[in-house]
């Protein structure tokens, strides 16, 4: 196939610059601008709105059509027919597992779900009211101290074992964050429980009873994990890739990703959305908040609405909305005032021309916050749950980057608008 090119004509350059164009299997073509630096030019794209930072085969998003595929499988099919452990296998390995492969993978994950006993001592250093994300960033980063010496990131086996360790231990650490905040003892994982039931057991079980987690609620939470597993080159995944490009160990990279996810513009939106709904408090206040969301001079944003890529409905939000209804009906909370307020806000926003014109639809975080709240998860644990679920996406993308022979250190440049060269002035002359 003839190579396609973009021709860039720059006023003071004698000859136009020819830039190769590459096509993927889906989505926009890309212009390879790598040689621009030879002509003493950079591209300029703050926020990377029009920038493809890498090639990937893991997740495809079409923001206009509201499409999300993981290794080619549509998110609604995975949410309906698969489970989180199977989606983890798919994201990491590229294919759905056979029953034997799935059983072996689950066995591996189950038998790595305990953390080193020393790790429970880390929690003592935190105040009981520390935000669980602050604890997660610290404890996950500290896992490096337990494994980095057995980790050669250029060895695919070592990379996969680190991925399995992290996928296995995130629920344990997340539940430890919660237990520490309420002064209850840590619960050990139970090998006879499946991945999500185990998490609910560690979150809500106590040494005083052996209540089995609800299979219905575990199924709902498992679907939430699936919906949050991976999402192309979002801010936290790009953070993990950039950290990984330096050769940092995967525990440090995932800790960096957790830090990036925490922001309210990203994974912190589900917590911010619930806080916002409680702040709105009553349907009669909705118009005031919608007005604030439109006011350019007011930093207030309608949390749970809008998305950098989805300029149509977030396909995850559709599934999340159904799950939300199922959980609320299952728990008899369909008349929950916060849920009713959320539905009213959704209706008003979807009919408001500001939101319609700017294509601001409810995103996955709008419904996940309400559902997690109904499941009894405290608001400050919402982003921890998001981090738990996204760990497989971060590690799949990290592994894909390191598997590529021509991966290189990520190091963006800049447009410099600061002072030109000037001489130092002694303090008595300033």
List residues binding ligand SDX (CB under 6 A): 231, 234, 265-267, 269, 293, 301-309, 358, 360, 363, 365
Name the residue nearer to ligand SDX (CB basis): 293 or 384. Answer: 293
Q: Which two tokens stand for residue 401?
A: 């980057």
**Which residue numbers are catalytic?**
266, 307, 365
Name the residue nearer to ligand SDX (CB basis): 288 or 329. Answer: 288
Distance (Å, rounded) from C-alpha 133 to C-alpha 7? 47
Shortest spacing between CB 55 and ligand SDX, in angstroms: 18
Per 3-state DSSP, the chain is made up of helix, strand and coil in percentages (nearest 5) of 55, 5, 40
Contacts (Cβ under 8 Å, ≥6 apart) of 123: 135, 139, 176, 177, 180
Shortest spacing between CB 293 and ligand SDX, in angstroms: 4
Name the residue nearer to ligand SDX (CB basis): 235 or 283. Answer: 235
Residue nearest to ligand SDX (CB): 306
Shortest spacing between CB 332 and ligand SDX, in angstroms: 28
Distance (Å, rounded) from C-alpha 350 to C-alpha 39? 47
Shortest spacing between CB 316 and ligand SDX, in angstroms: 7
Shortest spacing between CB 237 and ligand SDX, in angstroms: 7
Q: Which two tokens stand for residue 363?
A: 């995103």
Q: Name the residue among 371, 380, 391, 368 with its Cα closest to residue 178.
A: 380
**Which residue matches tokens 């790595």?**
112
**Which residue matches tokens 């994990």?**
225
Distance (Å, rounded) from C-alpha 275 to C-alpha 211? 31
Longest dimension (CA), the chain: 80
Name the residue nearer to ligand SDX (CB basis): 205 or 304. Answer: 304
Distance (Å, rounded) from C-alpha 202 to C-alpha 422? 60
| C-alpha of 124 from chain center | 28
Shortest spacing between CB 241 and ligand SDX, in angstroms: 13
Asked if residue 73 lies in contact with residue 90, where contact means CB atoms within 8 angstroms, the answer is yes
DSSP type of residue 380: G
φ/ψ of residue 176, rounded to 5: -65, -40
Name the residue nearer to ligand SDX (CB basis): 330 or 352. Answer: 352
Name the residue nearer to ligand SDX (CB basis): 102 or 266. Answer: 266
Name the residue nearer to ligand SDX (CB basis): 5 or 301. Answer: 301
Helix (H, G, I), strand (E, B) or coil at 209: strand
Distance (Å, rounded) from C-alpha 170 to C-alpha 424? 51
Shortest spacing between CB 214 and ligand SDX, in angstroms: 26
**Which residue matches tokens 């990520």?**
410
Q: Which two tokens stand for residue 177?
A: 């964050």
């Amino acid at each position: 196939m003839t190579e396609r090119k973009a021709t860039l004509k720059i006023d003071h350059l004698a000859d136009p610059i020819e830039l190769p164009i590459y096509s993927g299997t889906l989505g926009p073509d890309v212009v390879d601008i790598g040689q621009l630096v030879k002509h003493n030019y950079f591209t300029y794209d703050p926020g990377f709105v029009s920038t493809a930072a890498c090639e990937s085969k893991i997740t495809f998003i079409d923001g206009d059509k509201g499409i999300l595929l993981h290794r080619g499988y549509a998110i609604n099919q995975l949410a309906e027919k698969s489970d989180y452990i199977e989606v983890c296998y798919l994201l990491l390995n590229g294919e759905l597992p056979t029953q034997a492969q799935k059983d072996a993978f689950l066995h591996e994950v189950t038998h790595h779900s305990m953390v080193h006993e020393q790790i429970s001592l880390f929690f003592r250093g935190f105040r009981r009211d520390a935000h669980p994300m602050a604890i997660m960033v610290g404890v996950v980063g500290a896992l490096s101290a337990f494994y980095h010496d057995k980790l050669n990131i250029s060895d695919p086996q070592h990379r996969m074992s680190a991925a399995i360790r992290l996928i296995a231990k995130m629920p344990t650490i997340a539940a430890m964050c919660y237990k520490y905040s309420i002064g209850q003892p840590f619960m050990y994982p139970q090998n006879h429980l499946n991945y999500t039931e185990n998490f609910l057991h560690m979150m809500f079980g106590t040494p005083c009873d052996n209540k089995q987690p609800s299979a219905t609620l575990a199924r709902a939470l498992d679907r939430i994990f699936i919906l949050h597993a991976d999402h192309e080159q979002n801010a936290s995944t790009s953070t993990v890739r950039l950290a990984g490009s330096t050769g940092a160990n995967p525990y440090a990279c995932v800790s960096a990703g957790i830090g990036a996810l925490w922001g309210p513009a990203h994974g912190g939106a589900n917590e911010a959305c619930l806080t916002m709904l409680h702040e709105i408090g009553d349907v009669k206040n909705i118009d005031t908040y919608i007005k604030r969301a439109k006011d350019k001079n007011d930093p207030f944003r309608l949390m749970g609405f809008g998305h950098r890529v989805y300029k149509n409905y977030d396909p995850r939000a559709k599934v999340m909305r159904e799950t939300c209804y199922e959980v609320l009906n299952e728990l008899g909370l369909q008349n929950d005032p916060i849920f009713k307020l959320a539905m009213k806000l959704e209706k008003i926003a979807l009919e408001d021309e500001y939101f319609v014109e700017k294509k601001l639809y409810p995103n996955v975080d709008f419904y996940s916050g309400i559902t997690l709240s109904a499941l009894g998860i405290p608001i400050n644990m919402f982003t921890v749950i998001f981090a738990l679920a996204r760990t497989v996406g971060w590690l799949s993308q990290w592994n894909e980057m390191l598997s590529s022979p021509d991966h290189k250190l990520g190091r963006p440049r800049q447009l410099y608008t600061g002072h030109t060269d000037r001489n130092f002035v002694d303090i008595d002359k300033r």
